[in-house]
Amino acid sequence: MSNLNQKIKLDQEDSKKPLLIAALICATILFSVIYLKISMIDMMMGLPNFILFFFQNFFPPSLENVQQYIPAVLDTIGYAVIATFLSSILALILGILISENTNKFKSIRMICRALVSVMRNIPFVIWGALLVYIFGLGGIVGVLALIFVTIGFLGKSYAESIDEISGEKLEALRANGASYFQILLHGVLPQFVPSWINWTLFSFEINVRASVVLGLVGAGGIGVLIDTNINLFNYGEALGIIIVIVSIILLTEFVTNTLRKKLI
C-alpha cells in the first residue's frame, strides 16, 4: 500500500552525485569570483561594454594600408610552413620511439614521452618568451617556439596512431624475416600515412594561428603590428590587420580541409 505513495524514481543511479558535482562547481565559481576580486557587475557588463567599445572605436576597419602588410603576412605563413615541415619529421621519429609497437626499450620510450610532454605542456608564448631570452628577437625564435610546441603535440598524436596499428600485421612481416627498418617502412609507415596527413594538416592550422601571435613576444610576423597600432590608438588600422589575419586563417582551414578530402 505504502508503495503507491512512494515517489517513482526516474533514475537508477544515486541522484546525490550530480547534485554534489553541481554544488562543487558553484562553490568553485564563488571562490573564483571572490579570489579574482571581479565584481559581478563588471563581469556581466564586461561583454556589453567591450562590444560597445569595439563598435564605437574599432569600427570602421581601415584597409587602406593592406599592401604594407603583405610581407608580414607572408612571413607568418612561412614560419608556419617551415615549422610544420620540420616538426612533422622530428615528431615522426619521436612517435616511433614512443610507441610500443616500434620500440621495445621501455626506458627510451619513457624518456621520449617525458620530453614530448614537457614540450607540449609549456604554453606556446612562454616558449617564445624563453627563447627570445636566449636568442634575442627575430624570426628564428618564432620558428623554434613553433617547432617545440608542434613536436609536443604531434609526437603524442603520432605515437597514439602508431600504437593503433595492429601488432599482428607487423608480426607477419617479422615472420617473413624482415629487418626492423623494413618492418618500419613496409608495415608501419603505409598504415600510418592517413593519420600522418591528418595530424600534420591539423598542426599546420594551429601553427598559422600561433605564428600570428608570435609577434607579440617579439618574434616576427604580423602580430606585432596589432600591438603597435592599438598602442597608438589606431584602432581602425588594428581591426584592418585583424581582418587580414582572419582571412589568412579561414583560407588556411579551407585549404587543409580540401587537402584532407583529396589525400585521404
- Which residues inside 215-234 make contact with other proteins, applying CB under 8 A? 216-217, 220, 223, 226-227, 230
For the segment 162-201, give every residue that binds other proteins (CB under 8 A): 166, 168-169, 171-179, 181-182, 185-187, 190-191, 193-194
Residue 112 to residue 188: CA distance in whole angstroms: 19
Residue 124 to residue 223: CA distance in whole angstroms: 14
Residue 46 to residue 44: CA distance in whole angstroms: 6
Complete DSSP assignment for 82-98: HHHHHHHHHHHHHHHHH
**C-alpha distances in angstroms, 160 versus 100, 113, 153?**
10, 11, 11
Q: Considering the complex, what minimum distance in angstroms separates the CB of residue 183 from other proteins?
A: 9
Q: Considering the complex, what minimum distance in angstroms separates the CB of residue 206 from other proteins?
A: 10
Among 151, 212, 219, 244, binds other proteins (CB under 8 A): 212
For the segment 139-158, give every residue that binds other proteins (CB under 8 A): 139-140, 143
The reply to whether 78 sits near other proteins by the rule CB under 8 A is: yes
Among 91, 96, 210, 219, binds other proteins (CB under 8 A): 210
Q: Decide: residue 136, CB within 10 A, 0-12 exposed, 13-18 middle, 19+ buried.
A: exposed
The reply to whether 15 sits near other proteins by the rule CB under 8 A is: no
Angle at 34 between CA 28 and CA 40, to 5 degrees: 100
The reply to whether 74 sits near other proteins by the rule CB under 8 A is: yes
Among 103, 163, 198, 209, binds other proteins (CB under 8 A): 209
Could you tell me which stretch among 60-68, 92-100, 102-110, 247-255 binds other proteins (CB under 8 A)? 247-255
Q: Considering the complex, what minimum distance in angstroms separates the CB of residue 5 from other proteins?
A: 26
C-alpha cell at 12: 537508477
Residue 238 to residue 254: CA distance in whole angstroms: 24
For the segment 94-133, give every residue that binds other proteins (CB under 8 A): 117-118, 121-126, 129-130, 133
